[in-house]
Structure 1
Amino acid sequence: MPKRKGQMIERTLYSSFLQEDVSLMIYLPEHYSPLYSYPTVYLQDGYDYFSLGKMATQLDHLIAEGKIERCIAVGVPVSDSKKRFDRYSPKGSRHQAYIRFFGEELVSFIDHELATQPISGARAVMGDSLGGGASLAIAMAYPHTFHYAVSQSGAFFDDLDKRIEAYTHSPALLSIYLSIGLQETEVSTSRGNMDLLRLNHEAKERLEQHGFPVYFREFEGDHTWTYWSEDLLHALTHIWGK
Protein backbone atom coordinates (compact mmCIF):
# COMPACT_ATOMS: atom_id res chain seq x y z
CA MET A 1 0.00 0.00 0.00
CA PRO A 2 1.49 3.39 -0.98
CA LYS A 3 2.37 5.74 1.82
CA ARG A 4 -0.11 8.54 2.46
CA LYS A 5 1.21 11.83 1.08
CA GLY A 6 -1.31 14.13 2.68
CA GLN A 7 -2.27 14.13 6.35
CA MET A 8 -5.60 13.29 7.97
CA ILE A 9 -6.57 15.19 11.12
CA GLU A 10 -9.75 15.48 13.17
CA ARG A 11 -11.47 18.46 14.71
CA THR A 12 -14.72 19.02 16.62
CA LEU A 13 -16.83 22.14 16.83
CA TYR A 14 -20.02 22.90 18.67
CA SER A 15 -22.89 24.03 16.45
CA SER A 16 -25.39 26.38 18.03
CA PHE A 17 -27.75 25.73 15.10
CA LEU A 18 -27.67 21.95 15.50
CA GLN A 19 -27.22 22.11 19.28
CA GLU A 20 -24.54 19.41 19.23
CA ASP A 21 -20.85 18.73 18.72
CA VAL A 22 -19.94 18.04 15.11
CA SER A 23 -16.91 15.87 14.28
CA LEU A 24 -14.83 16.71 11.21
CA MET A 25 -12.47 14.62 9.09
CA ILE A 26 -9.88 16.85 7.42
CA TYR A 27 -7.35 16.15 4.68
CA LEU A 28 -4.29 18.41 4.48
CA PRO A 29 -2.14 18.16 1.34
CA GLU A 30 1.49 17.06 1.40
CA HIS A 31 3.79 19.87 2.59
CA TYR A 32 0.84 21.78 4.03
CA SER A 33 2.08 25.01 5.58
CA PRO A 34 0.29 27.92 7.28
CA LEU A 35 2.57 30.19 5.22
CA TYR A 36 0.45 29.36 2.17
CA SER A 37 -3.29 29.28 1.55
CA TYR A 38 -5.39 26.54 0.00
CA PRO A 39 -8.78 26.08 -1.66
CA THR A 40 -11.18 23.88 0.30
CA VAL A 41 -13.80 21.30 -0.61
CA TYR A 42 -16.50 20.52 1.97
CA LEU A 43 -18.10 17.06 1.92
CA GLN A 44 -21.40 15.61 3.05
CA ASP A 45 -21.13 11.96 4.16
CA GLY A 46 -17.53 12.64 5.15
CA TYR A 47 -16.75 9.12 6.30
CA ASP A 48 -18.07 7.60 3.07
CA TYR A 49 -16.08 10.01 0.90
CA PHE A 50 -12.83 9.16 2.67
CA SER A 51 -13.43 5.41 3.09
CA LEU A 52 -15.54 4.34 0.10
CA GLY A 53 -14.60 7.18 -2.25
CA LYS A 54 -10.90 7.05 -1.33
CA MET A 55 -10.90 10.85 -1.28
CA ALA A 56 -7.49 11.28 0.37
CA THR A 57 -5.80 8.84 -2.00
CA GLN A 58 -7.41 10.45 -5.02
CA LEU A 59 -6.30 13.90 -3.87
CA ASP A 60 -2.77 12.60 -3.26
CA HIS A 61 -2.56 11.26 -6.81
CA LEU A 62 -4.14 14.25 -8.55
CA ILE A 63 -1.92 16.70 -6.66
CA ALA A 64 1.25 14.63 -7.24
CA GLU A 65 0.45 14.42 -10.96
CA GLY A 66 -0.03 18.17 -11.14
CA LYS A 67 -3.63 17.86 -12.30
CA ILE A 68 -5.20 19.91 -9.52
CA GLU A 69 -4.16 22.56 -7.03
CA ARG A 70 -3.09 21.49 -3.57
CA CYS A 71 -6.26 21.72 -1.51
CA ILE A 72 -7.91 20.93 1.80
CA ALA A 73 -10.89 18.58 2.13
CA VAL A 74 -13.29 18.79 5.08
CA GLY A 75 -15.67 15.88 5.58
CA VAL A 76 -18.70 16.08 7.86
CA PRO A 77 -19.62 12.49 8.84
CA VAL A 78 -23.18 11.52 9.63
CA SER A 79 -23.73 8.69 12.09
CA ASP A 80 -26.99 7.07 10.96
CA SER A 81 -29.69 7.14 8.29
CA LYS A 82 -32.18 9.09 10.42
CA LYS A 83 -29.72 11.88 11.16
CA ARG A 84 -28.73 11.88 7.49
CA PHE A 85 -32.36 12.31 6.39
CA ASP A 86 -33.00 14.99 9.02
CA ARG A 87 -29.98 17.00 7.83
CA TYR A 88 -29.98 16.45 4.08
CA SER A 89 -33.62 16.13 3.07
CA PRO A 90 -35.74 19.25 2.53
CA LYS A 91 -38.35 17.37 4.59
CA GLY A 92 -35.86 16.74 7.39
CA SER A 93 -36.36 18.30 10.83
CA ARG A 94 -32.77 19.65 10.94
CA HIS A 95 -32.39 20.63 7.28
CA GLN A 96 -32.49 24.41 7.66
CA ALA A 97 -30.34 24.27 10.79
CA TYR A 98 -27.81 22.14 8.92
CA ILE A 99 -27.67 24.59 6.01
CA ARG A 100 -27.02 27.44 8.45
CA PHE A 101 -24.39 25.37 10.25
CA PHE A 102 -22.53 24.94 6.97
CA GLY A 103 -22.84 28.53 5.83
CA GLU A 104 -22.39 30.38 9.10
CA GLU A 105 -20.38 28.15 11.47
CA LEU A 106 -18.38 25.50 9.64
CA VAL A 107 -16.63 27.72 7.09
CA SER A 108 -15.65 30.38 9.61
CA PHE A 109 -14.30 27.66 11.92
CA ILE A 110 -12.15 26.13 9.17
CA ASP A 111 -10.96 29.54 7.98
CA HIS A 112 -9.83 30.28 11.54
CA GLU A 113 -8.19 26.88 12.13
CA LEU A 114 -6.47 26.33 8.77
CA ALA A 115 -4.67 28.23 6.02
CA THR A 116 -7.58 28.50 3.61
CA GLN A 117 -8.25 30.95 0.82
CA PRO A 118 -11.23 32.78 2.37
CA ILE A 119 -13.08 33.58 -0.86
CA SER A 120 -16.05 31.89 -2.52
CA GLY A 121 -14.06 30.98 -5.64
CA ALA A 122 -11.80 28.81 -3.49
CA ARG A 123 -14.63 26.85 -1.84
CA ALA A 124 -16.66 23.88 -3.06
CA VAL A 125 -19.41 21.87 -1.40
CA MET A 126 -19.95 18.28 -2.51
CA GLY A 127 -22.28 15.38 -1.84
CA ASP A 128 -23.79 12.20 -3.25
CA SER A 129 -27.44 11.21 -3.58
CA LEU A 130 -29.44 13.07 -0.89
CA GLY A 131 -26.18 14.80 0.06
CA GLY A 132 -25.88 16.06 -3.52
CA GLY A 133 -29.20 17.84 -3.21
CA ALA A 134 -28.16 19.22 0.18
CA SER A 135 -24.88 20.51 -1.28
CA LEU A 136 -26.70 22.43 -4.00
CA ALA A 137 -29.13 23.79 -1.39
CA ILE A 138 -26.21 25.04 0.72
CA ALA A 139 -24.51 26.72 -2.24
CA MET A 140 -27.74 28.41 -3.34
CA ALA A 141 -28.33 29.66 0.21
CA TYR A 142 -24.74 30.97 0.50
CA PRO A 143 -23.50 31.80 -3.03
CA HIS A 144 -21.04 34.37 -1.68
CA THR A 145 -19.48 31.59 0.41
CA PHE A 146 -19.47 28.61 -1.97
CA HIS A 147 -18.81 29.09 -5.67
CA TYR A 148 -18.73 25.39 -6.60
CA ALA A 149 -21.54 22.93 -5.91
CA VAL A 150 -20.93 19.28 -6.80
CA SER A 151 -23.82 16.82 -6.85
CA GLN A 152 -23.11 13.17 -7.61
CA SER A 153 -26.35 11.35 -8.46
CA GLY A 154 -28.30 14.03 -6.64
CA ALA A 155 -31.72 13.16 -5.25
CA PHE A 156 -33.65 16.25 -6.32
CA PHE A 157 -37.24 16.78 -5.26
CA ASP A 158 -39.77 19.56 -5.76
CA ASP A 159 -37.74 21.78 -3.41
CA LEU A 160 -35.36 22.68 -6.26
CA ASP A 161 -38.02 24.77 -8.00
CA LYS A 162 -38.69 26.62 -4.74
CA ARG A 163 -34.97 27.29 -4.22
CA ILE A 164 -34.61 28.62 -7.75
CA GLU A 165 -37.63 30.91 -7.32
CA ALA A 166 -36.29 32.18 -3.98
CA TYR A 167 -32.77 32.78 -5.34
CA THR A 168 -32.17 36.54 -5.62
CA HIS A 169 -28.45 36.66 -6.46
CA SER A 170 -26.62 36.48 -9.76
CA PRO A 171 -26.60 32.89 -11.10
CA ALA A 172 -23.01 33.53 -12.20
CA LEU A 173 -21.94 33.37 -8.53
CA LEU A 174 -22.29 29.60 -8.76
CA SER A 175 -20.67 26.86 -10.82
CA ILE A 176 -22.66 23.62 -10.63
CA TYR A 177 -21.41 20.11 -11.40
CA LEU A 178 -24.09 17.45 -11.84
CA SER A 179 -23.30 13.81 -12.58
CA ILE A 180 -25.64 10.87 -12.91
CA GLY A 181 -25.44 7.19 -13.88
CA LEU A 182 -27.28 5.94 -16.95
CA GLN A 183 -28.59 2.99 -14.93
CA GLU A 184 -30.08 5.15 -12.17
CA THR A 185 -33.61 4.87 -13.47
CA GLU A 186 -35.12 2.96 -10.53
CA VAL A 187 -33.26 3.92 -7.37
CA SER A 188 -34.67 2.94 -3.98
CA THR A 189 -35.17 6.05 -1.79
CA SER A 190 -37.16 7.13 1.24
CA ARG A 191 -39.88 8.14 -1.23
CA GLY A 192 -39.89 4.80 -3.01
CA ASN A 193 -38.19 3.94 -6.30
CA MET A 194 -37.20 7.03 -8.28
CA ASP A 195 -35.84 7.73 -11.76
CA LEU A 196 -32.86 9.87 -10.75
CA LEU A 197 -31.57 9.98 -14.33
CA ARG A 198 -34.72 11.78 -15.42
CA LEU A 199 -34.76 14.02 -12.34
CA ASN A 200 -31.16 15.10 -12.91
CA HIS A 201 -31.88 15.93 -16.55
CA GLU A 202 -34.85 18.00 -15.40
CA ALA A 203 -32.72 19.71 -12.72
CA LYS A 204 -30.10 20.61 -15.34
CA GLU A 205 -32.74 22.08 -17.64
CA ARG A 206 -34.40 24.14 -14.89
CA LEU A 207 -31.09 25.48 -13.61
CA GLU A 208 -29.87 26.41 -17.10
CA GLN A 209 -33.19 28.08 -17.92
CA HIS A 210 -32.54 30.42 -14.99
CA GLY A 211 -28.98 31.17 -16.08
CA PHE A 212 -27.01 28.92 -13.72
CA PRO A 213 -23.78 27.56 -15.21
CA VAL A 214 -24.08 23.76 -15.18
CA TYR A 215 -21.53 21.10 -16.12
CA PHE A 216 -23.44 17.87 -16.69
CA ARG A 217 -21.81 14.44 -16.84
CA GLU A 218 -23.39 11.05 -17.43
CA PHE A 219 -21.54 7.84 -16.63
CA GLU A 220 -22.12 4.14 -17.25
CA GLY A 221 -23.17 2.89 -13.83
CA ASP A 222 -25.67 2.88 -11.02
CA HIS A 223 -26.23 4.44 -7.59
CA THR A 224 -23.12 3.10 -5.84
CA TRP A 225 -19.67 4.23 -4.71
CA THR A 226 -18.07 2.08 -7.39
CA TYR A 227 -19.07 4.78 -9.86
CA TRP A 228 -19.04 7.83 -7.60
CA SER A 229 -15.41 7.15 -6.70
CA GLU A 230 -14.45 7.19 -10.38
CA ASP A 231 -16.59 10.25 -11.04
CA LEU A 232 -14.87 11.99 -8.15
CA LEU A 233 -11.73 12.28 -10.29
CA HIS A 234 -13.71 14.21 -12.91
CA ALA A 235 -15.37 16.43 -10.30
CA LEU A 236 -12.11 17.34 -8.55
CA THR A 237 -10.38 18.05 -11.86
CA HIS A 238 -13.34 20.17 -12.95
CA ILE A 239 -13.26 22.42 -9.88
CA TRP A 240 -9.54 22.54 -9.01
CA GLY A 241 -7.90 21.60 -12.32
CA LYS A 242 -4.82 23.50 -13.40
Structure 2
Amino acid sequence: MDMTAGKIHTTEIESEVCGEKFEIQYYLPKNFSDLYKYNVIITFDSQDFFKYGQIERQYQKLREKEEMDRAIIVGVPYPDVEWRNHYFSPNGEHHENMVTFVGRELIKWIDANFKTLRMADSRVLMGESLAGTFAFSVALQYPTTFPNAVAFSPFVDDDFIERFKNQPNLMQLNLYHTIGLEEDDFKTIMGEQADFLTPNRKLNAFLDLEPLEYEYRELEGGHIWKTWKPELERVLKHYLA
Protein backbone atom coordinates (compact mmCIF):
# COMPACT_ATOMS: atom_id res chain seq x y z
CA MET A 1 0.00 0.00 0.00
CA ASP A 2 1.15 3.50 -0.87
CA MET A 3 1.63 5.49 2.35
CA THR A 4 2.81 8.74 0.75
CA ALA A 5 1.61 11.63 2.91
CA GLY A 6 -0.32 14.59 1.50
CA LYS A 7 -1.77 12.59 -1.41
CA ILE A 8 -5.07 10.96 -2.37
CA HIS A 9 -4.56 7.25 -3.07
CA THR A 10 -6.78 4.60 -4.64
CA THR A 11 -6.91 0.90 -3.83
CA GLU A 12 -9.39 -2.00 -3.91
CA ILE A 13 -11.01 -4.07 -1.18
CA GLU A 14 -12.56 -7.49 -1.63
CA SER A 15 -15.92 -7.70 0.14
CA GLU A 16 -17.09 -11.12 1.25
CA VAL A 17 -20.55 -9.92 2.22
CA CYS A 18 -21.14 -8.29 -1.19
CA GLY A 19 -19.16 -10.83 -3.21
CA GLU A 20 -17.29 -8.15 -5.16
CA LYS A 21 -14.44 -5.65 -5.07
CA PHE A 22 -14.89 -1.99 -4.19
CA GLU A 23 -12.62 0.91 -5.04
CA ILE A 24 -11.48 2.85 -1.96
CA GLN A 25 -9.78 6.25 -1.79
CA TYR A 26 -7.67 7.41 1.14
CA TYR A 27 -5.83 10.58 2.08
CA LEU A 28 -2.96 10.64 4.53
CA PRO A 29 -2.30 14.18 5.77
CA LYS A 30 0.99 16.01 5.44
CA ASN A 31 3.34 15.04 8.28
CA PHE A 32 1.52 11.70 8.57
CA SER A 33 3.47 9.55 11.02
CA ASP A 34 3.18 6.13 12.66
CA LEU A 35 4.10 7.79 15.94
CA TYR A 36 0.52 9.01 16.30
CA LYS A 37 -2.95 7.51 16.24
CA TYR A 38 -5.54 9.08 13.95
CA ASN A 39 -9.25 9.80 13.86
CA VAL A 40 -11.01 8.46 10.76
CA ILE A 41 -13.28 10.45 8.44
CA ILE A 42 -15.17 8.18 6.02
CA THR A 43 -16.82 9.86 3.03
CA PHE A 44 -19.33 8.35 0.61
CA ASP A 45 -19.25 9.82 -2.93
CA SER A 46 -15.62 10.37 -1.97
CA GLN A 47 -14.45 11.61 -5.37
CA ASP A 48 -16.88 14.55 -5.00
CA PHE A 49 -15.74 15.30 -1.43
CA PHE A 50 -12.18 15.54 -2.77
CA LYS A 51 -12.93 17.32 -6.07
CA TYR A 52 -15.76 19.70 -5.17
CA GLY A 53 -15.57 19.83 -1.36
CA GLN A 54 -11.75 19.85 -1.28
CA ILE A 55 -12.10 18.20 2.10
CA GLU A 56 -8.40 17.35 2.38
CA ARG A 57 -7.45 21.04 1.91
CA GLN A 58 -10.01 22.13 4.47
CA TYR A 59 -8.70 19.53 6.91
CA GLN A 60 -5.08 20.57 6.29
CA LYS A 61 -5.89 24.26 6.84
CA LEU A 62 -7.60 23.57 10.17
CA ARG A 63 -4.89 21.15 11.26
CA GLU A 64 -2.12 23.65 10.54
CA LYS A 65 -3.92 26.18 12.74
CA GLU A 66 -4.31 23.41 15.35
CA GLU A 67 -8.07 23.81 15.21
CA MET A 68 -8.74 20.10 14.81
CA ASP A 69 -7.29 16.72 15.78
CA ARG A 70 -5.24 14.42 13.57
CA ALA A 71 -7.31 12.45 11.06
CA ILE A 72 -7.07 10.37 7.93
CA ILE A 73 -9.78 10.47 5.25
CA VAL A 74 -11.03 7.23 3.70
CA GLY A 75 -13.71 7.26 1.01
CA VAL A 76 -16.01 5.10 -1.06
CA PRO A 77 -16.43 6.58 -4.56
CA TYR A 78 -19.33 5.75 -6.88
CA PRO A 79 -18.57 4.31 -10.35
CA ASP A 80 -21.74 5.79 -11.87
CA VAL A 81 -25.14 7.28 -11.00
CA GLU A 82 -26.98 3.98 -11.46
CA TRP A 83 -24.63 2.32 -8.94
CA ARG A 84 -25.57 4.87 -6.27
CA ASN A 85 -29.22 3.93 -6.65
CA HIS A 86 -28.46 0.25 -6.07
CA TYR A 87 -25.93 0.64 -3.23
CA PHE A 88 -26.43 3.99 -1.44
CA SER A 89 -30.21 4.40 -1.76
CA PRO A 90 -32.10 2.91 1.20
CA ASN A 91 -34.45 1.35 -1.37
CA GLY A 92 -31.61 -0.12 -3.44
CA GLU A 93 -31.21 -3.88 -3.87
CA HIS A 94 -27.61 -3.91 -2.52
CA HIS A 95 -28.11 -1.28 0.20
CA GLU A 96 -28.22 -3.59 3.22
CA ASN A 97 -25.14 -5.55 2.12
CA MET A 98 -23.28 -2.29 1.47
CA VAL A 99 -24.13 -1.07 4.98
CA THR A 100 -22.77 -4.36 6.37
CA PHE A 101 -19.61 -4.01 4.26
CA VAL A 102 -18.88 -0.60 5.83
CA GLY A 103 -19.89 -1.64 9.35
CA ARG A 104 -17.84 -4.83 9.40
CA GLU A 105 -15.32 -5.11 6.58
CA LEU A 106 -14.28 -1.57 5.69
CA ILE A 107 -13.65 -0.48 9.29
CA LYS A 108 -11.68 -3.70 9.92
CA TRP A 109 -9.53 -2.93 6.86
CA ILE A 110 -8.98 0.68 7.98
CA ASP A 111 -7.95 -0.33 11.51
CA ALA A 112 -5.66 -3.05 10.16
CA ASN A 113 -3.86 -0.77 7.69
CA PHE A 114 -3.62 2.54 9.55
CA LYS A 115 -2.79 3.54 13.11
CA THR A 116 -6.27 4.61 14.21
CA LEU A 117 -7.77 5.50 17.59
CA ARG A 118 -10.31 2.66 17.23
CA MET A 119 -12.94 4.34 19.38
CA ALA A 120 -16.47 4.99 18.14
CA ASP A 121 -16.17 8.69 18.84
CA SER A 122 -13.02 8.98 16.72
CA ARG A 123 -14.94 8.09 13.54
CA VAL A 124 -17.10 10.38 11.41
CA LEU A 125 -19.22 9.31 8.42
CA MET A 126 -20.09 11.90 5.75
CA GLY A 127 -22.17 11.96 2.60
CA GLU A 128 -24.29 14.23 0.43
CA SER A 129 -27.58 13.47 -1.31
CA LEU A 130 -28.01 9.65 -1.55
CA ALA A 131 -24.55 9.23 0.00
CA GLY A 132 -25.77 11.28 2.98
CA THR A 133 -28.73 8.96 3.36
CA PHE A 134 -26.23 6.09 3.28
CA ALA A 135 -24.09 7.69 6.04
CA PHE A 136 -27.20 7.87 8.25
CA SER A 137 -28.09 4.26 7.34
CA VAL A 138 -24.71 3.00 8.52
CA ALA A 139 -24.97 4.97 11.79
CA LEU A 140 -28.47 3.60 12.39
CA GLN A 141 -27.30 0.03 11.82
CA TYR A 142 -24.02 0.38 13.76
CA PRO A 143 -24.55 3.10 16.40
CA THR A 144 -21.85 1.75 18.71
CA THR A 145 -19.26 1.65 15.88
CA PHE A 146 -20.28 4.83 14.01
CA PRO A 147 -22.26 7.22 16.22
CA ASN A 148 -21.10 10.32 14.27
CA ALA A 149 -22.73 10.87 10.88
CA VAL A 150 -23.16 13.86 8.57
CA ALA A 151 -25.77 14.09 5.81
CA PHE A 152 -25.91 17.09 3.48
CA SER A 153 -29.31 17.15 1.70
CA PRO A 154 -30.05 13.44 2.13
CA PHE A 155 -32.79 11.64 0.23
CA VAL A 156 -35.54 10.96 2.79
CA ASP A 157 -38.87 9.17 2.45
CA ASP A 158 -41.40 7.82 4.98
CA ASP A 159 -39.75 4.39 5.03
CA PHE A 160 -36.41 5.96 5.87
CA ILE A 161 -37.96 7.95 8.73
CA GLU A 162 -39.40 4.64 10.01
CA ARG A 163 -35.83 3.31 10.30
CA PHE A 164 -35.12 6.06 12.83
CA LYS A 165 -38.33 5.30 14.70
CA ASN A 166 -37.36 1.63 14.89
CA GLN A 167 -33.85 2.24 16.28
CA PRO A 168 -34.04 1.94 20.10
CA ASN A 169 -30.49 3.28 20.57
CA LEU A 170 -30.88 6.70 18.94
CA MET A 171 -29.39 8.28 22.07
CA GLN A 172 -25.97 6.92 21.04
CA LEU A 173 -25.96 8.98 17.85
CA ASN A 174 -24.45 12.39 17.12
CA LEU A 175 -25.93 13.51 13.78
CA TYR A 176 -25.33 16.60 11.62
CA HIS A 177 -28.12 17.19 9.09
CA THR A 178 -28.48 19.97 6.51
CA ILE A 179 -30.95 20.81 3.75
CA GLY A 180 -31.03 23.68 1.24
CA LEU A 181 -33.98 26.06 1.21
CA GLU A 182 -34.10 25.82 -2.60
CA GLU A 183 -34.57 22.05 -2.49
CA ASP A 184 -38.36 22.15 -2.51
CA ASP A 185 -38.38 21.79 -6.32
CA PHE A 186 -35.24 20.83 -8.24
CA LYS A 187 -33.99 18.34 -10.82
CA THR A 188 -32.01 15.37 -9.48
CA ILE A 189 -28.91 13.85 -11.08
CA MET A 190 -31.32 11.26 -12.59
CA GLY A 191 -33.27 14.07 -14.26
CA GLU A 192 -36.38 13.81 -12.07
CA GLN A 193 -38.15 16.70 -10.32
CA ALA A 194 -37.92 16.33 -6.56
CA ASP A 195 -38.78 17.99 -3.25
CA PHE A 196 -36.15 17.15 -0.61
CA LEU A 197 -37.00 20.03 1.72
CA THR A 198 -40.40 18.75 2.93
CA PRO A 199 -39.32 15.18 3.88
CA ASN A 200 -36.09 16.45 5.49
CA ARG A 201 -38.14 18.82 7.63
CA LYS A 202 -40.32 15.85 8.56
CA LEU A 203 -37.24 13.87 9.66
CA ASN A 204 -36.03 16.91 11.60
CA ALA A 205 -39.41 17.25 13.37
CA PHE A 206 -39.03 13.66 14.61
CA LEU A 207 -35.34 13.84 15.58
CA ASP A 208 -35.75 17.17 17.38
CA LEU A 209 -37.83 15.41 20.04
CA GLU A 210 -35.47 12.44 20.45
CA PRO A 211 -32.67 12.09 23.06
CA LEU A 212 -29.65 12.27 20.72
CA GLU A 213 -26.95 14.80 19.86
CA TYR A 214 -28.39 16.45 16.78
CA GLU A 215 -27.48 19.53 14.72
CA TYR A 216 -29.91 20.58 11.98
CA ARG A 217 -29.30 23.44 9.58
CA GLU A 218 -31.35 24.87 6.73
CA LEU A 219 -28.94 26.51 4.29
CA GLU A 220 -29.32 29.18 1.65
CA GLY A 221 -28.97 27.38 -1.67
CA GLY A 222 -29.83 24.22 -3.53
CA HIS A 223 -28.78 20.62 -4.04
CA ILE A 224 -25.21 21.44 -5.06
CA TRP A 225 -21.66 21.54 -3.70
CA LYS A 226 -21.77 25.35 -3.67
CA THR A 227 -24.20 24.92 -0.74
CA TRP A 228 -22.40 22.02 0.96
CA LYS A 229 -18.72 22.99 0.66
CA PRO A 230 -18.87 25.93 3.13
CA GLU A 231 -20.35 23.55 5.75
CA LEU A 232 -17.32 21.24 5.75
CA GLU A 233 -15.18 23.43 8.01
CA ARG A 234 -18.04 23.65 10.51
CA VAL A 235 -18.53 19.89 10.42
CA LEU A 236 -14.84 19.07 10.86
CA LYS A 237 -14.68 21.35 13.89
CA HIS A 238 -18.00 20.05 15.21
CA TYR A 239 -16.63 16.52 15.55
CA LEU A 240 -12.86 16.84 15.67
CA ALA A 241 -11.96 20.22 17.20
Residues 50-88 of structure 1 show CA distances to partners (whole Å, capped at 9, x for unaligned) of: 111111111111111222112111111110111111011
- Alpha-carbon shift at residue 25 of structure 1 (Å): 0.9
Residues 194-238 of structure 1 show CA distances to partners (whole Å, capped at 9, x for unaligned) of: 322222221111122232321012221111111211111221121
- Equivalent positions of 1:213-224 (< 5 A) are 213-224=213-224
In 2, Cα distance between equivalents of 1:50 and 1:61: 14
In 2, Cα distance between equivalents of 1:104 and 1:195: 33
The corresponding residue for 2:35 is: 35
1:186 matched to 2:189 = no
Which deviates more, 27-36 or 70-79?
A: 27-36
- Equivalent positions of 1:40-59 (< 5 A) are 40-59=40-59
- Alpha-carbon shift at residue 98 of structure 1 (Å): 0.5
3-state SS in 1 of match to 2:103: helix
3-state SS in 2 of match to 1:11: strand
- Alpha-carbon shift at residue 168 of structure 1 (Å): 2.6
3-state SS in 2 of match to 1:209: coil
- Alpha-carbon shift at residue 154 of structure 1 (Å): 1.0
In 2, Cα distance between equivalents of 1:198 and 1:233: 26
The corresponding residue for 1:173 is: 172
In 2, Cα distance between equivalents of 1:199 and 1:213: 20
The corresponding residue for 1:20 is: 20
1:155 matched to 2:152 = no
In 2, Cα distance between equivalents of 1:166 and 1:54: 35
The aligned amino acid for 1:149 is: A
The corresponding residue for 1:129 is: 129
Asked if structure 1 preserves the Cα contact closer than 8 Å seen for 2:171 and 2:210, the reply is no
Asked if structure 1 preserves the Cα contact closer than 8 Å seen for 2:90 and 2:160, the reply is no
- Equivalent positions of 1:62-101 (< 5 A) are 62-101=62-101
- Alpha-carbon shift at residue 127 of structure 1 (Å): 0.4
The aligned amino acid for 1:218 is: E
- Alpha-carbon shift at residue 192 of structure 1 (Å): 4.0
| Pairs aligned (count) | 237
In 1, Cα distance between equivalents of 2:57 and 2:229: 11
In 1, Cα distance between equivalents of 2:213 and 2:138: 16
In 2, Cα distance between equivalents of 1:225 and 1:134: 18
The corresponding residue for 2:8 is: 8
Q: TM-score, normalised by structure 2?
A: 0.92
The aligned amino acid for 2:179 is: I
1:195 matched to 2:200 = no
Q: TM-score, normalised by structure 1?
A: 0.92
Residues 139-191 of structure 1 show CA distances to partners (whole Å, capped at 9, x for unaligned) of: 0100011121100011111222321232132x231100011112111132459
Please tell me the root mean square deviation across aligned C-alpha atoms, in Å: 1.8
Residues 90-110 of structure 1 show CA distances to partners (whole Å, capped at 9, x for unaligned) of: 221110010000101000100
Give the unaligned 5+ runs of structure 2. Answer: none
In 1, Cα distance between equivalents of 2:26 and 2:32: 12
The aligned amino acid for 1:9 is: H
